[in-house]
Amino acid sequence: MKAARKLIFFAWLLVPMAAQAEYTRIELTIFGMD
């Protein structure tokens, strides 16, 4: 029972640490817009 509780606690701890890896902003220079 104690081991199961420990496991749940560490699982809970790890989930928020799962990284979101993504672009948030891209500023693109574009040729041929004039």
Partner 1 sequence: MRVALQKMQGVESVDVSLNEGKAVIRLQPGNSVSLGQIRKAVTEKGFTPKEARIEAAGDLSAVKDGLRFEVTGAGEGFAAEPSAHKEWREKAGRNLRVTGIIAAPSGEEAAGRIQLLTVSRQSQEEPPKRNAP
Report, in Å, the least distance between residue 9 CB and partner 1: 7
Instruction: Report the residue count for the chain.
Output: 34
State the nearest-atom distance from the C-beta of 2 to partner 1, in Å: 14
Binding site for partner 1 (CB under 8 A): 8-9, 12, 15-34
State the minimum distance, in angstroms, from the CB of residue 12 to partner 1. Answer: 6
- The CA-based angle 6-9-11, given to 5 degrees, is 110
Task: Please give the Cα distance from 26 to 19 (Å, whole number).
Answer: 20
Would you say 1 or 31 has its CB closer to partner 1?
Answer: 31
